[in-house]
Amino acid sequence: MASGASSDSETPGELTCPICLDAFRCPCTLSCGHSFCLKCVEGAWDVAKSFSCPQCRVTFPRRPKLSKNFTLANLVEQRSAAEKMATVVLCDFCNDGTTAASMTCLKCDISYCATHVKPHQENPKFRDHVLVDPATNPEERKCKTHRKELEFYCRQDKSLVCTTCTIAGDHKGHDVATLDDEHKTREKQVGEETRAVEEKRKEAEESVKRMEAARRDVQGSMTGVRQRINGEFARMRAALDEDEKAALARASKKEHELLTQIEKNIAHYQREIGELQAAATRLEGLAQERDSLAFLQGHLEETCRIGRATAAPPSAPSQEDIASLKGTEETVAKFLSTRAGKPSPALTHDGPRPQHPRGTTSTT
């Protein structure tokens, strides 16, 4: 049997990409002289922090612009064509060296093209000749022990054997059948196996359909679940916003009331301080008076003035009032704790609140 000649003009490794280890596909060559598939080196640079040759590691200051190396691409195509021709079995009767064979006769050990095989198929003399695909390895149809054609099937050992195996070999005396008889016996079995395989395939397809339907159900249900969860949390956020505004408004109102009382007290005592400072100055001057009438007149007048200046101050916030302001914060903290199931760090304190002197307030 003839076959196409292979070309050994190029070393296979020289036409192989060092990255994918396969024959070049659209090869490109870097300035350092190394070649790669264009997609391979581009992919390597897409994930790298710098642009360097994957083989010699020489680094380029900027990303090189790559183009196809047509000479190398042509060599790859020529080698591919040569390898393809090397695997083609040629017709032994055609003398052109290019016509591929369509069948090979195992008995004649000759390959025929579509034209030359017809007489071999139509002539009754060649009826017992076995024609196979040219790509079939003849050695696979021979007994590995006796190098003769496999003609029988040993039912005891479930193996293919030659004539010598049944007469003088390991299968002597075994239940053997010709290949044709075993073929006919197994044809029905193969049909049943085919139907069983088809049934399993159909069952698998039905299972896939059920799983796809279940997947759609899960995805559809999850869409509704997401919408309801989003809606519920949106409602809760809106409610919390309203609660926050209301709590802040109540705290601000209480703060305003307390600060108003405190400012009135501060103003009262500041006026009183001024009046007392003036009275002290007048009393110091009165102490220097030597005229008894003038002294008594001045002292009586000052006594009346001091009596008028000692009027009662306006009511001031008590510690209970200030504590009630802090109680607003604690009420909100308890409210949020009830909603969230845990204390709110923004409205609770890690330690005891600082104590302030009586009559003063803290900024909360």
Q: Where are the domains of the chain?
A: 2-87, 103-180, 318-364
pLDDT at 364: 36
Mean pLDDT of the chain: 81
Contact 52, 63 (CB under 8 A): no
Choice between 204 and 326, residue whose per-residue pLDDT is larger = 204
pLDDT at 117: 87
DSSP-assigned letters across all residues of 72-91: HHHHHHHHHHHHHHHTPEEP
Rounded percentage of the chain residues whose pLDDT exceeds 70: 83
Choice between 120 and 219, residue whose per-residue pLDDT is larger = 219
Q: What is the pTM of this model?
A: 0.37
* DSSP secondary structure code for residue 160 in this structure: E
In angstroms, rounded to a whole number, what is the distance separating the alpha carbons of residues 97 and 92?
A: 9
* CATH class belonging to 2-87: alpha beta
Lowest mean pLDDT among 44-48, 122-126, 163-167, 223-227: 122-126
State yes or no: pLDDT of 148 exceeds 50.
yes
pLDDT at 304: 83
Torsions phi, psi of 140, nearest 5?
-70, -15
Token look-up 């007290």 returns 265
pLDDT grade, residue 1 (50/70/90)?
Answer: low
Bridge-partner residues for 110, per DSSP?
105
Lowest mean pLDDT among 13-17, 37-41, 225-229: 13-17
pLDDT at 13: 62
Is there a common fold for 2-87 and 103-180? no
Choice between 325 and 218, residue whose per-residue pLDDT is larger = 218
In angstroms, rounded to a whole number, what is the distance separating the alpha carbons of residues 195 and 47?
A: 51
pLDDT at 48: 83
Rounded percentage of the chain residues whose pLDDT exceeds 90: 27
* CATH class belonging to 103-180: alpha beta
Average pLDDT for residues 38-51, to the nearest whole number?
89
178: enclosing H helix or E strand: strand 176-178
pLDDT at 147: 83
